[in-house]
Structure 1
Amino acid sequence: MNFVKPLIMASMMSVTATGAHAAAKFTPELLNSLGRVSDAQVSPDGKKVLYGVSTPNIENNNSNRELWVMDINGKNAVQITNSEKSETNAVWFEGGKKIAFAYPNEKGVNQMWVMNADGTDRRCVSNMEKGIEGFVLSPDEKKVIIVSTVKYGETTQDRYPDLKKTDGRIIDDLMYRHWNEWTAEIPHPFVGEFNGSEVTALKDVLEGTQFESPMRPWGGVEQLAWLPDSKSLIYVCRKKTGKEYAISTNSDLYQYDIATGDTKNLTEGMMGYDNNPAVSKSGKIAWLSMEHDGYEADKNRIFMLDGDKKVDLTADWDYSVDFITWSPDEKYIYFICPYQGTMPIFRMNVANRKVEQVAGGQYDYDGLQFAGKDLLITCRHSFLEPNEVYSFKVGKEPVKLSSVTDPIMNTLGDVKCEKMMIPTTDGKMMTTWVLLPPNFDPNKKYPSLLFCEGGPQSPVSQFWSYRWNLRIMAENGYVVFAPNRRGLPGFGTEWNAQISGDYSGQCMKDYLSAADFMKEKPYIDGDHMGAVGASFGGYSVYWLAGNHQKRFACFLSHAGIFDLRAQYCETEELWFVNWDLGGAPWDKNNEVAMRSYREADPKNYVQNWDTPILVVTGENDFRISYSQTMQAFNAARMRGIPARMVLFPSECHWVTKPQNSILWQREYFRWLDQWLKK
């Protein structure tokens, strides 16, 4: 059996963030003024770190990402770009003398650029008509993979060229829209020559096909990799279209020979998601793999090619992996995964499969690169603090390198985050994070919020969000409790899988157990508890609204599912509802599906609604249509229940524009304060 050997032990079960002076109020405006640190890249000599900082501009209602470079010890941080638009996908090349990045050209079309390491001598090196979404340099830096888009299917003007001004769409198959955009173009990988100052001879690796790679909406350049000889590459693709695409998660890794154009399926016969190839310097190939077709939240395993044999390195590891990278000596694969309510860094000895934790505490880690043989660079955040760059050596505490958010965060008051273990109705213990307001007094009574996670199988780890920010909720005077209810990763595959086909079962009992447990705390005002959540969390709020039996004083649902039958017929990822609900609403002989539509459909309980509710949606949300939110709002008002709807015409499943984000936060607290602070 594998084992986890913590090399760094967290000595406290709670963490406190404390301001040194009189505390500033953590407002939505302040939250949306924070610089957002991401994508730390170590220079080839291991002496520098390149990273990006995105800063929102509330007045202009946009954000801009600039590039920074600092020494490997965090000193001498310098902003090397100062541009009107955002630089992205930045990487070192020519031994650290230069940096390549993506940036719009004079026509506003994103292209590949290069510059000196100090930001001087910027020049555009690509000329893709439709722009680029990202790129990956080859190991010898003489070739490049560029992600650009190609036309998908036939347009109305193709069929009727005389109707140049019609905006009608003619649709014959599924997956005609996905998440937040209509499927008019899809990404393809192009491979070309690169001499340091120009990209030439680009060839579409998937020319003549209607398959997408990387896979939208989440896939990026991490789904592409080079072999060490720079003569072949690996791309991830789900070679399906229309209905077949809409019901399947069966992607594969394909190896493409640049000289011959020959393609080999490296994961033939593996039926779930195969994703994110990681290639060692000697050419060993590892990747993330799910077992079951149609189950997007399956256990993500680490597989490795051993000759033609596919080896599951995590057969004895009961947790789902999110990120992998090889150690320089290739003895270890380092990985990040949800684990007991956090996202620590682990490493696996490839020879004996033993796993040990190398960075932990009450934090989430994001990305990982080596600086030499034993120093690692990562980003870290928690409920209490935003992303910053850190370094660490195995067996030693991480060292903070960047301090982008310190000028604001150091002015805030103390917020305490505690881990509580709450008993469930089936005799298990549920990890729950509890955030306490600044200057918390256990002798006072506080209003509280049950945070319902989305996904439905996304972890309640130590995330930092610019919408669902638990710290700002606590700073506004609420005790916030976030249970790792059934269906969340980080507690073994059985705990994670229990929710499938059982939306209204144990996971809802877990939420009610958490609410009842917290009501027993002497500092909780039991008459002023709310429930909030987005996506599946929004669905949870709707279901609880009809089944809470007076536990809650108000509700807030963002992009939640109100009508399961309608959701099946109007969503785009049909694999999702097939797996989660058990099947279609017309499959009358399918007892799992029929139970879902009978017992788990929130609209079936709307006659029990008796509590004020705020609902939020975006008109460009194709995952959970805004019509779901409108149904819930209309039902509440028709039943005479106090309700409010906040609708964003330009937003999707998320709220991304700075002013919309501030409006979201203002209405969030205006509603909660109205009903929970009376």
Structure 2
Amino acid sequence: MRKVLFLSVLALLIGTGTQSTAMTEEKKTYVPETPVLESDRMTPEVLWSFGQVGNTELSPDGQTVLFGVTYYHIEENKSYRELYTVPVKGGAVSQITNTALNESGARWRPDGKKVGYLFAADGETQLWEMNPDGSQPVQISRVEGGITGFKYSPDQKHIFYTKAVKLDDDIHDLFPDLPKANARLEDDLMYRHWDKWHDYTYNHIFVAEYGQGEITKGKDILEGEKFDSPGKPFDGLEEVVWSPDGKQLVYSCKKLTGKDYSLSTNTDLYLYDLETGETTNLTKENKGYDKSPLFSPDGSKLAWTSMARDGYEADQTRLFVMDLKTGEKTNYSAAWEQNASHLSWSNDGKLIYFISNIHATDEIYSLNLKSGKISRLTDGVHNYQLAVETADGKLLAQKVSMSQPAELYLVDPKTGKDEPLTAVNKGLLDQLEMGKVEERWVKTVDNKDMHLWVIYPPHFDPNKKYPTLLYCQGGPQGTVSQFWSTRWNFQMMAANGYIVVAPNRRGLPGFGMEWLEQISTDYGGLNIQDYFSAIDAVSKEPFVDQERLGAVGASYGGFSVNFLAGHHEGRFSAFISHCGIFNFDQMYVTTEEMWFENWDIGGPFWDQDNSAAQRSYSFSPHLFVEKWDTPILVIHGEKDFRIPYTQGMGAFNAAVLRDIPAQFLYFPEENHWVTSPQNGIVWQRVFKQWLDKWLK
């Protein structure tokens, strides 16, 4: 049994750490103490013990940062989330909530005197407020059915809140005399999305007066409309924004339903005027995504991100600004090939800060509106994520890397240098030896330069030979950047004794639009050759055991593994495919986002005159099963509606019928990801056991 000594995790946040008045109460939440580890190598249990920092917001006076930390209780198989504050100038971190229920959506009231947050004290999530030190919590809303989010108007006269509104009939509305019936009756597409069946409700925005007593009801600004804002399933309140004078709202919405919704990405920005009740489409001329609106500090301009082409979710994310008086719109990305995301205005409205991926890292950039010049502010082996905020002459940012979970930093915009503001996971990180992360460039089959990361095991010995893994990225248009994950964690793989090769093959952003767009309708083409170029180049190193190579990946990476299984010509000795496409024909008629399939595959398999589509279907892994000869672990979640779990079943069943060693790790309650602690640990253990069996 592990011998464990405990240290206070709060004392490790920053400095000596202090507790607010809320902490004097009996402890109700789960904030784990930091164990003294027996080994300096990562384990699945340690991986799931890191605190996850998020929900960051700077106080109106710019002096204090509000943020949340989520911890997972492995034994209870659940998460606990609490709120904290820390001074911008550094110093003690204060925990301001301490309950058995999770607080979420926290934000400062515009006058800085209260913190609003979402809390479900009586089973329904409502708006609560407390003092900045966590004292005197008071319930503010009593909206029937609860709310899902809120924002104060800058003048503090109103709030908007979001909630689900039932507008469609379910089976019991259709047949009220059959209360025990359990059925669905569908007549159009988009009846399920990612991991949830449509529940006959739509996300709507409500505006209510604030400060006139408890909020019980607001005005539904999308009343009767069967559309979602924020959009399902992933959009948040970054898609709804107040004007600085509190008289208008701008929100993003894809005002389509059913089949039309499944075929299009045409999301527009709508301006709602509180006084007149009128709604205006600001971006009707653009046919792709228009999202993440943000008013300038003086309210004269609106910035947002935009994609030009309908149905192409990986198109260039451009930075647009509109003069609200003249209606003039400017595309500041016109002469720039990178993406722009997580926009924020400087306090004087002269600059827009944003995040962009460049050569497999996510960096902070600024746009000077007067000159139109885009400048890169940071450079390093890291990802900055989420929008930055101007704090005491510096930028408050969240930074993560392959070797460290997210923490808060202050970045000097003149030098690009940063300094940590929080150290939530210092106690664990100080006890772990992380493997070296090395950047390389290798030549492809057509003599192009390809970027890749090589992650080495802790205590790497160049005189030894190591089993090596080729990591195949999903997306397919998702950069292999400096991300941290509880599943595809490169340091976890390295700690298991493997070298990891993670190429930024064709189809990934951060390397120009030509590199990004090559993959569409060419799934089995040059990007597969890029995988071979990466593993073949690194395999030449004397410390790589060429007889012990494996390939692993999820989603498009899972497809890649399934395809490699029929084309690898003896390179690999083990495969792991998570949520991977196996049969393209079946995938087309069982997935939900048809815009994705139509763009990336080229169209339906029955369109015999579509040469691009027919070429795509010729890459389907199920067509090459007769060439499979290598042990394969297949993993899938039943609630994965993006790539239905029958794709994983097909791959596993085919392998068994071919007498190929195989396992099927199936999660009935998981989706495209693995989100619960115990399932996550099972995933990591089986992942390691399978590779160790065939590569060690």
- TMscore range, shorter length: over 0.9
Q: Find 1:508's aligned residue among 505, 508, 528.
A: 528
2:370 aligned with 1:366: no
What SS is found at the alignment partner of 1:275?
Answer: strand
2:110–2:154 contact (8 Å) kept in structure 1: no
**Alpha-carbon RMSD:** 1.4
2:507–2:516 contact (8 Å) kept in structure 1: yes
1:89 deviation in Å?
Answer: 1.1
2:163 aligned with 1:143: no
1:486–1:510 contact (8 Å) kept in structure 2: yes
Q: Find 1:237's aligned residue among 246, 253, 265.
A: 253
Task: Classify 1:246/1:446 alpha carbon distance in 2 versus 1 (closer, same or farther; 3 Å).
Answer: same
AA aligned to 1:454 is G
Aligned residue number for residue 308 of structure 2: 291
Aligned residue number for residue 570 of structure 1: 590
Aligned residue number for residue 399 of structure 1: 419
What SS is found at the alignment partner of 1:527?
Answer: strand
Aligned residue number for residue 174 of structure 1: 189
2:144 aligned with 1:134: no
Q: Find 2:609's aligned residue among 573, 578, 589.
A: 589
The correspondence of residues 435-450 of structure 1 with structure 2, limited to 5 A, is 435-450=455-470
AA aligned to 2:441 is M
Q: What do residues 134-172 of structure 1 show as CA deviations (whole Å, max 9, x unaligned)?
A: 112111122112111011422111111111111110000
AA aligned to 2:138 is R
1:258 deviation in Å?
Answer: 1.4
Q: Find 1:380's aligned residue among 399, 410, 421.
A: 399
1:274 deviation in Å?
Answer: 0.4
Mean CA deviation greater in 21-30 or 95-104: 21-30
Q: Find 1:211's aligned residue among 220, 223, 227.
A: 227
Counterparts of 2:167 and 2:626, CA distance in 1: 45
Give me the TM-score of the superposition, normalised by structure 1.
0.95
1:427 deviation in Å?
Answer: 1.1
Q: Find 2:647's aligned residue among 609, 613, 628.
A: 628
1:196 deviation in Å?
Answer: 8.0
AA aligned to 2:447 is G
Counterparts of 2:688 and 2:496, CA distance in 1: 8
What SS is found at the alignment partner of 1:366?
Answer: strand
Unaligned runs of 5+ in 2: 1-35
Counterparts of 2:482 and 2:347, CA distance in 1: 29
AA aligned to 1:25 is R
AA aligned to 2:638 is E
1:413 deviation in Å?
Answer: 1.2
Mean CA deviation greater in 636-645 or 394-403: 394-403
Q: Find 2:432's aligned residue among 412, 432, 455.
A: 412
Give me the TM-score of the superposition, normalised by structure 2.
0.93
Q: Find 1:34's aligned residue among 43, 50, 57.
A: 50
Counterparts of 1:355 and 1:371, CA distance in 2: 18
Highest relative contact order (Cα 8 Å, sep 6+), 1 or 2? 1
Mean CA deviation greater in 621-630 or 351-360: 351-360
Counterparts of 1:21 and 1:559, CA distance in 2: 33
What SS is found at the alignment partner of 2:681?
Answer: helix
Q: Find 1:542's aligned residue among 536, 546, 562.
A: 562
What SS is found at the alignment partner of 1:394?
Answer: coil
Q: Find 2:473's aligned residue among 443, 453, 469.
A: 453
Counterparts of 2:579 and 2:38, CA distance in 1: 37
Unaligned runs of 5+ in 1: 1-19
Counterparts of 2:684 and 2:425, CA distance in 1: 20
2:110–2:155 contact (8 Å) kept in structure 1: no
Aligned residue number for residue 493 of structure 2: 473
Counterparts of 1:75 and 1:21, CA distance in 2: 27
Q: Find 1:67's aligned residue among 83, 89, 112.
A: 83
Counterparts of 1:413 and 1:196, CA distance in 2: 56
2:671 aligned with 1:656: no
Counterparts of 2:514 and 2:215, CA distance in 1: 49
1:114–1:197 contact (8 Å) kept in structure 2: no
What SS is found at the alignment partner of 2:292?
Answer: strand
AA aligned to 2:504 is N
2:245 aligned with 1:225: no
Aligned residue number for residue 165 of structure 1: 180
Counterparts of 1:274 and 1:407, CA distance in 2: 42
AA aligned to 2:628 is W
Counterparts of 1:226 and 1:177, CA distance in 2: 31
2:575 aligned with 1:559: no
Q: Percent identity?
A: 47
2:634 aligned with 1:615: yes
1:372 deviation in Å?
Answer: 4.2
Counterparts of 1:277 and 1:193, CA distance in 2: 23
Counterparts of 1:261 and 1:21, CA distance in 2: 60
Counterparts of 2:335 and 2:358, CA distance in 1: 15
2:142–2:214 contact (8 Å) kept in structure 1: no
Q: What do residues 621-656 of structure 1 show as CA deviations (whole Å, max 9, x unaligned)?
A: 111100000000000000000000111111111110
AA aligned to 2:50 is L
AA aligned to 1:349 is N
1:207 deviation in Å?
Answer: 0.6
1:95 deviation in Å?
Answer: 2.8
1:544 deviation in Å?
Answer: 0.6
AA aligned to 1:24 is D
Q: What do residues 166-220 of structure 1 show as CA deviations (whole Å, max 9, x unaligned)?
A: 1110000000000011111221111111118632540111111111111111100
AA aligned to 1:440 is F
Aligned residue number for residue 17 of structure 1: none
Q: What do residues 510-563 of structure 1 show as CA deviations (whole Å, max 9, x unaligned)?
A: 011111111111110001111111111111110111111111110001111101
Aligned residue number for residue 262 of structure 1: 278
AA aligned to 1:628 is Q
Aligned residue number for residue 124 of structure 1: 139
